[in-house]
Amino acid sequence: MSPTFDTVFRAQFRDLVLWRRDVRRFRRDPIARARIDALLELFSLYSSRHSSIASYSKGMRQRILLIAALMDNPELLIFDEPLSGLDVTSALVLKNLIRTLGQQGRAIFYCSHVLEVVEQVCSHLLILRKGNVIACDTTDAIRKNLENSTLERTFMHLVEDVDAEKITRDIVDVMTMTTTTTKTAA
């Protein structure tokens, strides 16, 4: 059964009411206020705290989302391409933070297409292909089982049915094509 406009509207309205209640609670909670100010400072956003979010760059917006995710000190974090738009320093801080939180025993689901980063920050992997689990183990075990030196090579072995090196060569060939003009005799 698909939801009707009324049920969707009521659900959104309920979420809005809950959000407004949380904002009021936040304004009265000195620990929450101190935490947000500290996170804004640590993510280099404190000086922009009174600016409209619409004026923020993509990286600044990404850091706001990270602060929102960290605010309540969760035991479970879900990140989907969290490095997108971040400057080098913020990306390094986030990678270190993910490793540290993982070492503290927190569960972190990290979804990314940047496999070099996945290899750096993830201790366990779940690889999907067309919605099916094709590998689930520690990062090292998956790499070793397939005798590949990098996660990228392992992924290509498990998932892709293409020859990336051949496609690369073909692209270069197309880029360097020359047109030959034939002069016709008059």
Residue-wise pLDDT for 22-31, tens only, equals 766 767 778 8
Residue 127: alpha-carbon gap to chain centroid: 16
* Distance in angstroms (rounded) separating the CA atoms of residues 142 and 144: 6
* Distance in angstroms (rounded) separating the CA atoms of residues 104 and 74: 12
20: left (phi over 0), alpha (psi -120 to 50) or beta: alpha
Which pLDDT value is given to residue 1? 43
139: left (phi over 0), alpha (psi -120 to 50) or beta: alpha
What is the model's pTM?
A: 0.69
In this predicted structure, the answer to whether residue 140 has a pLDDT above a threshold of 50 is yes
* Distance in angstroms (rounded) separating the CA atoms of residues 104 and 93: 16
Judging by DSSP bridges, how do beta strands 107-111 and 132-138 pair with one another? unpaired
Triad 94, 96, 101: Cα angle to 5° = 90
Q: Read off the pLDDT of each residue in 133-162 and give the average, rounded to a whole number.
A: 78
In this predicted structure, the answer to whether residue 85 has a pLDDT above a threshold of 90 is yes
In this predicted structure, the answer to whether residue 71 has a pLDDT above a threshold of 60 is yes
Which pLDDT value is given to residue 107? 92
Cβ–Cβ under 8 Å, residues 128 and 134: yes
Give the chain's domains with CATH numbers. 9-112 (3.40.50.300), 123-171 (no CATH)
Helix locations, the chain, DSSP H: 5-28, 30-42, 58-70, 88-103, 115-121, 139-145, 151-158, 164-175
Which pLDDT value is given to residue 28? 76
